[in-house]
Structure 1
Amino acid sequence: MNPFPTRQAAEQYLARIPDPAQREATRARLGLNAPSPAPVEAVQNVDTLPPPRPNARSTACKASALPLSLPWTPSINHYWRHVLVPCKPARPGAPPYRVQVLISKEGREYRRAVETLIRNLGRPAAPPEARLLVALTLHAPTRRAIDIDNRIKAALDALTHAHVWADDSLIDRLTVDRGEVTPGGRVDVVITPLTNTPFGGQP
């Protein structure tokens, strides 16, 4: 299933992927290289096809996978900042302030960058209320050592802010891989609705 409203929107998205191999792999996943569908009478009888091999916990509907390529994320250490907010002490002896967690300037800029990307792509989104499998591949901009777990939350939070899904609590399965070093860095994301979930519901 092609998540983009027009082929032109899909081609604009593909043009932003700098790696030719990744671009062609994404093009194939979107079905843009697929030949014209065969006539109905020429299609193999579905009764002769081998049965699917579902995961015991959850099954992903591959046809509806949504691939995205995001800018390189800030570290979670730079995405949030903690500020002291004056307040009335809650009890005698308590400090006259509280700690409030805010999104940093770097975090807000990243959110805006992802929001602009999603808007330019025609606002592709996962099915409403679907439980999700999200696969991330992190392509760092340099060979400098990074902790990949520090880069996950910023990408998920930005996708939530861009309304690609209602909330990241809908993610039932999350995989993270370290990809090849890429100039400028990027985060490849594939979002797939699950047809069978731990909650027993459908997407």
Structure 2
Amino acid sequence: MHKKVRLYVGFVFILLLIAVAWRYFSFSQIFSSVVVAESNGAAPRDNIRSEFAAPERDALLRLLSDPRIQTYFQRQEDKLRLSAYFLSEEGSPTDEEAWRLIESIEQDGRILAYEAMALKLAWLERNSKNKTEFDAAAEAMVKEYRQKAMQSAEEYDPYKDVPGFAEYKEAERRIVQEVQQMTSFPNGMSRHEYLRHRLQEAREEAYGR
């Protein structure tokens, strides 16, 4: 593993240890243990260690075995590997490995399309023989991403892609018709203010905000 990766994982490990200790043992528990130990003539530090060492270790092992934690570590390592590649650090990925890593991160949805394109353009700049080759490859890539963006925009349907959109539009139609037929409005509001108020309530109900 890259040196920076080891240092980073070590740092995260320490943070996780602190989080587990805080989760399972409140300050009052630790403080009461210290008082009991001191009243018995025992060293407070040794008493806490013997009482809490095993639960902390077990809880930490369970936490570290969680697939979400493993995925988090892997993603952080991927970021460091890409950084090492573009900084030309010792032990960094090869050109082919870096390209596959960028595509993997993009396919997983961890970065936006324009971010992936920026990384790929930087990769092309490092691996093109000359400016002419780079310009041609970059132009083709930008065109490809532009076509994908246009296709996504054409296929986008908020009624299918946005949860709550269809419900809100139906409520909007009903509320507009209802308010148009009203001649007086509560709390001294104007028609426009009341309509805006009702539509805001409908949005919050449809989208859960």
Instruction: Give the structure-2-normalised TM-score.
Output: 0.18
Larger radius of gyration: 2
- Structure with the higher fraction of residues in helix conformation: 2
| Structure with greater strand share of residues | 1
Pick 1 or 2: higher relative contact order, CA cutoff 8 A, min separation 6.
Answer: 1
